[in-house]
Structure 1
Amino acid sequence: MTTRTLTCATTAGLTRAVRALAREHALDPAVRGRLVLSAAEAAGAALRAGRETVLEWTYDPDEGVLTVVLRTPPGGTGPVAAADLPMAADAVTGEEVVWRLPASPPPPGSAAPGADAGENAGQDAGQDFDEAALAAEELRAVVAAADALTAEHRRLKDELAETNSGVLALYVQLDERDEQLRTAHGQTLRELEDALRPPPIKADGLELAVHYEPAGTDAPTGGDLYDWFVLPDGTVHITIVDALGHGVTSTRSALNVTHAVRTLALEGHRLQSIVGRTDEILRPFDRSVMATVLLARIDPATGELWLANGSHPPALLLRRDGAARYLEARGRGIGFPLPGSETPLTERLAPGDLLLLYTDGLTESRRDPIEGEKRLIEAAHKHLQSPTEEVPGAIAEDMHTVILHPDDTLALAVRFTGR
């Protein structure tokens, strides 16, 4: 392993010397070009200041590595960063720049490249090579590398465009599939909701309408249900249930309550006993059921009204002249301590009066039930003269202009018209 040293006084002499030793060790033309540019850039400040630069190189035949050291006077290299050079240096100090490159051994009998002392250094050292040809070779190598990068960039760009096209097509397919699923899901939800609705009833002297809105769009139903039917004596029975929880699970509890109430009512049980009796029936089967209940009986011929309550919000009565009040009936709901209703509250409706039965989702959307009850009276006054079938939905829309506490909502309107 032999170390050779050369002193260079000009940039031209340095580049000729670097090019010669690179050629001697058969460096790739592109690597050679980068090394020449890096040496000229690293020593440029010192050479322009008239300071000589020492070029030193050593070839290690065991490792096949050529070590090139460019040594300048103190402060001569200037602020050179290893990664900023065309050929990144392995080490940079204030006086030295070092490159370690894989290389081939020099051919036998080769002479060291010379530096210029005012003459052509390559000729002085007997170097027989055409520097212009070598520079052209280096340029061609650089151009070839650039062309290869350009071709690779073009290929990657085409692949990316093709991939983007495929991804876009996949997104379109997924969107179409998602739309189909939404349509099917919506149809299923509507069918399920319709299946839970009791069939419409006709009773001369009464107009009935209902509005239901679940707490979330992901479930078609919740714990708020209603039931209505005509009893053998001609009176109309209405059940409003609000079971604890949301979604389809609470729907099961609400259905159990409405079915039990219907059975008891058709068997002729007194109105005030139905809530307590329903709790007795359901408790052995499902102890988790908790529900508030409001029961109403209306005689379409006379307008007589009976109300039994089980912890449910009170019904709202609006007289034809605009007078409004809540009908407070006492009782405890299904699953509550001491469930049951006290003596039913009685009232007589006059033609044009409007009775509104609802769940707490209508009045507690802003978390304040007292404020909700005041707003409900205002909304009911606003729509008192509207067609009955429009009243529940219009009132719910007014009440839900701001929703801070989403909940299942049920509103049922009964207008007494008289026979």
Structure 2
Amino acid sequence: MTATDRHRFSTGADLRAAVRRLARAHRLPVDARGRLVVAVTAVASVVFDAGGAVDLETTVRRAAEPGRPGLLAVVCRPLGGGEQPAPAELPLPAEVGEDGAAMWRVPLPPPTPGSDAAEPGPEDEALERELRYAMARADALAADHRRLKHELAETNSGVLALYVQLEERDEKLRRAHGKTLRELEDALRPPPLAIDGLELAVHYAPAGTDAPTGGDLYDWFTLPDGSVHITVVDALGHGVTSTRSALNVTHAVRTLALEGHRLESIIARTDEILLPFDRELMATVQLARLIPGTGELMLANGSHPPALVVRAGGAHAYLEARGRGIGFPMAGSDGLLRDRLGPGDLLVLYTDGLTESRKDPLEGEARLVRAALRHVRRPTAEVPGAVAADMHTLILHPDDTLALAVRVAPRTGGGEVGGRVSVPRAR
């Protein structure tokens, strides 16, 4: 059974009273009554505010079988002006048609014999007030939510712009920092040498990328008698403090060498000079003295890894002089190790960061021999860097690394040793 009723309203009060009576007449639950009243009046209020009217059409479909629930269809159709609010904003969702009409389908409770419809009571009005308050609160929260989203979008935009500015500033600082470090590193290096019959090159890499150098330093210079002096130092620690210690050692050694002290006494004398000023100083030292004309080589050592020599014909050996480093008990070299480099021979001086990257010095020394033999025929300027690259394919123990190569220039076709060579500083 179906029954349809239609009425026109132009005020919210009349519409509200009519919907309340309708819901009460069909014995809708209190909650459903309140939601239907608020939803219908919310839809119509937009039309009323624009000076229009609405048609309220109600259709009741009774169940064909006794005891089964029926259905109440309520349609609010605008007759002029205004727009319908979104159904999702209503306490009782509605279906909106193409003509702008909103429809609610509300299940009817099964009829109860002897029950009569009652007029709206105080609980209906109280529930309606609560629903209206809840809707107003929801609208306020939605407005706050939209405002916060807008503010958040503006904040995110500002943060992104600030992030870009910071990245640009950091990039400028990194470039300036890198330039400063390179200049400082160059300042710590001795100037290049140009020696008849000798080729020298060096590779250095600090343990930390944020420091220009560490405790590994070298020095080379020509003595008044024409011989070439080379110092390799590995001071304990990393960073600026160890650099200062290594610089103190190299400067003391240079002073003593230029004053004419015997090579085998320089390490012990350096210890005597520096220890009163720095009781914490500990450093290993390798000193080499080479006479270019004859190839005569002298080595003094203070706890430093042995030098490696690779002969022009492929033979190789470690030249191990004994002694104790700066800051060690009874510091000094036990004597001199003498050798002779022939044309094409290659001498490799280094710090333990080259051979102990895998924490096994003996295994590192064996790998160093293989790397030196692999690259011995390269130009001297390329040898230290190529050897270091081979040695550091796997690093388990990062440390400052220094590799220094000295080669007696091969003889020319006429049997003479090759001419003057400008020494590069390979990295």
Q: Structure 1 length normalisation: TM-score?
A: 0.70
Measured after TM superposition, the shift of residue 160 of structure 1 is 1.1
What letter matches 1:190 in structure 2? R
1:217 equivalent to 2:215? Answer no
Structure 2 residues without counterparts, runs of 5 or longer: 1-23, 40-66, 69-90, 92-112, 410-416, 419-427
Structure 1 residues without counterparts, runs of 5 or longer: 1-9, 21-28, 31-47, 50-85, 87-115
Q: Which residue pairs with 2:332 in the alignment?
A: 340
From 185, 189, 199, the counterpart of 1:197: 189
What letter matches 2:201 in structure 1? A
Measured after TM superposition, the shift of residue 154 of structure 1 is 1.8
Measured after TM superposition, the shift of residue 152 of structure 1 is 2.4
**Distance across 1 between alignment mates of 2:276 and 2:31:** 103
Q: Which residue pairs with 1:149 in the alignment?
A: 141
Q: Which residue pairs with 1:159 in the alignment?
A: 151
Q: Structure 2 length normalisation: TM-score?
A: 0.69
| 1:105-116 to 2 correspondences below 5 Å | none
From 314, 320, 331, the counterpart of 2:323: 331
Measured after TM superposition, the shift of residue 141 of structure 1 is 5.7
Q: Which residue pairs with 1:118 in the alignment?
A: 115
What letter matches 1:258 in structure 2? T
Quote the sequence identity (%): 71
From 298, 316, 333, the counterpart of 1:306: 298
| 1:55-66 to 2 correspondences below 5 Å | none
Structure 1 residues 321 and 144: CA distance shift in structure 2, 3 A = same
| 1:243-262 to 2 correspondences below 5 Å | 243-262=235-254
**Distance across 2 between alignment mates of 1:215 and 1:138:** 72
Q: Which residue pairs with 1:286 in the alignment?
A: 278
Deviations 1:84-140 (A, max 9, x none): xx9xxxxxxxxxxxxxxxxxxxxxxxxxxxxx96112227xxx699x7x99988776
Q: In structure 2, the residue corresponding to 1:180 is in which secondary structure? A: helix
| 1:21-100 to 2 correspondences below 5 Å | none
**Distance across 2 between alignment mates of 1:364 and 1:17:** 81
Cα contact 2:234–2:284 (8 A) shared by 1: yes
1:371 equivalent to 2:368? Answer no
Q: In structure 1, the residue corresponding to 2:195 is in which secondary structure? A: coil
Cα contact 1:17–1:122 (8 A) shared by 2: no
What letter matches 1:265 in structure 2? A
**Distance across 2 between alignment mates of 1:357 and 1:128:** 102
Structure 1 residues 279 and 156: CA distance shift in structure 2, 3 A = same
Q: Which residue pairs with 2:180 in the alignment?
A: 188
Q: Which residue pairs with 2:161 in the alignment?
A: 169
What letter matches 1:394 in structure 2? A
Q: In structure 2, the residue corresponding to 1:122 is in which secondary structure? A: coil
Deviations 1:250-273 (A, max 9, x none): 011111110010011001111100
**Distance across 2 between alignment mates of 1:196 and 1:309:** 22
Q: In structure 2, the residue corresponding to 1:320 is in which secondary structure? A: coil
Cα contact 2:31–2:127 (8 A) shared by 1: no
Q: In structure 2, the residue corresponding to 1:121 is in which secondary structure? A: coil
Cα contact 2:25–2:118 (8 A) shared by 1: no
Cα contact 2:223–2:258 (8 A) shared by 1: yes
1:385 equivalent to 2:382? Answer no
Q: In structure 1, the residue corresponding to 2:177 is in which secondary structure? A: helix
Deviations 1:212-256 (A, max 9, x none): 100011211111000000000000000000001111100111111
RMSD: 3.3
Cα contact 1:16–1:121 (8 A) shared by 2: no
**Distance across 1 between alignment mates of 2:30 and 2:247:** 97
**Distance across 2 between alignment mates of 1:369 and 1:228:** 26
**Distance across 2 between alignment mates of 1:16 and 1:164:** 47
**Distance across 1 between alignment mates of 2:167 and 2:138:** 42
Q: In structure 2, the residue corresponding to 1:194 is in which secondary structure? A: helix
From 230, 243, 267, the counterpart of 1:238: 230
Q: How many residues align?
A: 320
Deviations 1:331-373 (A, max 9, x none): 1111111111122111111110100000000000000000000
**Distance across 2 between alignment mates of 1:11 and 1:311:** 107
